[in-house]
Structure 1
Amino acid sequence: MMTTDITSAKTKHEIVIQGRKKLFGEVHLSGAKNAALPMIVAACLGEEETILDNVPTSLRDVKILIDILQEMGAIININSFTVSCRRGNFPNQSMAPSKSSEIRYSLLLLGLTAALEEVLELPLPGGCKIGDRKYDLHLHGLRKLGADVQENERGLKLVSSGLSGNNIEFYLPTTSGTENVMIAASLSRGKTTLLNANTRPEVLQLAELLNAMGAKVECKNRVVNVQGTDKIRGGVRVSVMPGWDEAVTYAVAAGVTNGEICIPNFNTSYIKEDVRYLRLAGVNVFEWGSSLYVSGKENKKTFDLFTAPYPGINSDMQPIFAALALAAEGTSTIADLRFTDRFQYVSEIKKFGADISSFGNTAIINGGSTLRGAKVKATDLRGGAACILAGMMAEGETIITNTTQINRGYENISDKLGKLGAAIYVR
């Protein structure tokens, strides 16, 4: 069946799936969205042009962030999956565009502005509506560095007249909050030590980029040290890491369809705990050469999963593993220890006839029953992906609406699944 990229036309808002097709073949990963976004912001610290390769440039969040930075004076050029960035005259205005409210990573404009000793008013950030996603740790970290950040009726206003290194401790590890402090502290005076930081792979790659550009960042075991400098040169070239979250999603897709897939140029180094749970659930995952192979031919088994800061299972992945649990006969449980309200997708999955319920921070999945195609809504990015997975398992036709949410994090997902044998298209 012909497939269509969900980014190709603004008028196309539904994904249609005919279920019960096994996936076979090779799927290539895009660059990781959550690595690319902070790297694009950090690259705008540089006085010279920094080039980023393997950027998922068709993703909605990436497009919006680049649009915002360009509108505010940064010099950014796109050539296919390569993006070149430098500061230019950012910020050329004190008010960020209203579109900043559409993505959560617009918060990193605060760290960039603070580092450059400027003023910025930022609309409150958007992103997935998955419960109480606070930004207080962002403000706490920037204030500890010396920035004045206030909330008003229009959003957040930051004034920076120079930053000084400090000791900062987070009450919980936040990915983008850690990245905001890293970006800001790079041009501070003195040393910053950030405790209980999130040092997941995307954060490590941000540190790699900042160091290549001329910053001095150490990032290890939930601790980040930044020795401030007075100049970030830039002028380097770095490739964005492959999308590990995309890899896990396609691995689960192979599992729930009893298929076999190969993911070239990828290994398990970023996803060791995810792989452990995949194997517990009966999905065979192994490396051969430079590729990852996934076989879902075995019977699926139940499991009990808890999300946790890296190297644990990221909260992003719990809807994906919930879909996997639907394929296992028996009861599985999933507890989200980060976003306790990240279960909006459960009501949509029930429409397939699934026996799934949630209360508090836990979902209970009684899997193994036959699912039926349904019309469902993508409540958020990963919830939408879980609906795609359920639709591929189900008998008959599934229609998924609000696909803009899915397009925020999966590049060409319908096309990639179609090439693996899924009967999926966009209309």
Structure 2
Amino acid sequence: APYDLVKTMRASFLVIGPLVARFGKARVSTPGGCAIGARPINLHLKGLEALGATIEQTHGYVEAKATKLRGAKIYLDLPSVGATENLMMAATLADGTTLIENAAKEPEIEDLANALNGMGGKIHGAGSDIIQIDGVNALHGITHRIIPDRIEAGSFVIAAALTGGDVLVKGARTEHLEAFLIKLKEAGVVLTPDESGIRVRRNGAIKSVDVTTLPYPGFATDLQAQLMVLMAVADGVSVITETIFENRFMHAQELDRMGAQIKLEGNRAIVRGVRELSGAPVMASDLRASVALILAGLVAKGTTEVSRVYHLDRGYEGIEKKLSLLGAQIVRVKG
């Protein structure tokens, strides 16, 4: 997997586990992605070494080799989503049983396990902090529908709450967004879930709420920037505490350019709500900051121009088209 591909999307590194399990070797560039803080790959590599792979890092690439992976007990120092997924895929074709302790619990972990089990894998406990994988000799093809993107769904929920619209977010699953939805209800957003999705309406002014990001099932760090926009126009003062990444408030200074009142104190953002934001040229620093600035532009007075939106396409397909269908005045400008 060459640098030109892996540098743009961190998830590209997830090919190393299944490749070394299936073919006995893999050479993958070290990953890129959003500059939101330290996201080392050491947990991936330690886990693969525990499974019997030899690892070499040279010239910006990781090379993994193994005649045959073997089951092992792996403890993750942090409940890393990527490491859990990578090691779960590798262990599926390893000899014997693998236990991953302190595993990530995100819905995406469960969905991956369901797909692998459908292919003939034997994975138990996905969605809990201990996952057991009994290795099999081979997998077979299946047809699998992946779960809806809960972060994209949450972003559209925020869009509706910001603008006072009445929007049905089709496919959104409340069970994947519980901590997030609890905070929105506290803020005065009316949420009505049904079989088709979540209907979002606003009942009066938005109230300020305090939020702390946590690993799943806590409040997702990937929805922190979007919530900050909502709090920027809420009544009162809110405190947003970021515990997952140390560099994930870069959108705050861009929101300040639009008239928001945000004071940063280490890993805390103190947001004093204002009556309205004003359109301004702003620059996106990462994927979630990109969508946050677009959401701010929806309610800002005047025109907002967001540059460096190439981040967006990694997490939001045709967002300008979807928002336009909801009545937003938004266009993508080439240049």
Is TM (by shorter chain) over 0.5?
A: yes
Gaps of 5+ in 2: none
What is the distance in 2 between the residues matched to 1:354 and 1:291?
31
Q: Secondary structure at the match of 2:167?
A: strand
One of 116, 131, 134 as aligned partner of 1:227: 134
Q: CA deviation at 1:224?
A: 1.1
2:261 corresponding residue in structure 1 = 355
1:168 corresponding residue in structure 2 = 74
Is the CA contact (8 Å cut-off) linking 1:195 and 1:223 kept in structure 2? yes
One of 313, 317, 325 as aligned partner of 1:411: 317
Q: CA deviation at 1:226?
A: 0.4
Compute the TM-score of the two structures, normalised by the length of structure 2. 0.96
Letter matched to residue 223 of structure 1: I
Write the mapping of 1:9-408 to structure 2, written as runs, cut at 5 A.
96=2, 98-218=4-124, 219-232=126-139, 234-408=140-314
Q: CA deviation at 1:237?
A: 0.7
Deviating runs (4+, > 6 A) in structure 1? none
1:30 corresponding residue in structure 2 = none
Letter matched to residue 289 of structure 2: G
Q: CA deviation at 1:244?
A: 1.3
Q: Secondary structure at the match of 2:12?
A: helix
What is the distance in 2 between the residues matched to 1:250 and 1:302?
19
Q: CA deviation at 1:255?
A: 0.9
Q: Secondary structure at the match of 1:275?
A: helix
Q: Secondary structure at the match of 1:102?
A: coil
What is the distance in 2 between the residues matched to 1:240 and 1:374?
37
What is the percentage of aligned positions where both structures have the same residue? 34
Q: Alpha carbons of 1:276 and 1:186: their partners in 2 closer, same or farther (altered >3 Å)?
A: same
What is the distance in 1 between the residues matched to 2:56 and 2:65?
9
Q: Deviations over 1:261-290 (max 9, x none)?
A: 012343312111111011011111111343
Between the two proteins, the alignment pairs up a number of residues equal to 332
Q: CA deviation at 1:119?
A: 2.3
What is the distance in 2 between the residues matched to 1:353 and 1:368?
8
What is the distance in 1 between the residues matched to 2:29 and 2:40?
14
- Point out which structure has higher relative CO (alpha carbons under 8 A, 6+ apart): 1
Gaps of 5+ in 1: 1-67, 69-95
Q: Alpha carbons of 1:153 and 1:264: their partners in 2 closer, same or farther (altered >3 Å)?
A: closer
Letter matched to residue 328 of structure 2: A
Q: CA deviation at 1:152?
A: 1.7
Q: Deviations over 1:217-263 (max 9, x none)?
A: 1113211110011111x221110111211111111111111111012
Is the CA contact (8 Å cut-off) linking 2:13 and 2:29 kept in structure 1? no
What is the distance in 1 between the residues matched to 2:30 and 2:171?
38
Q: Secondary structure at the match of 1:301?
A: coil
**Coordinate RMSD, CA, aligned:** 1.4
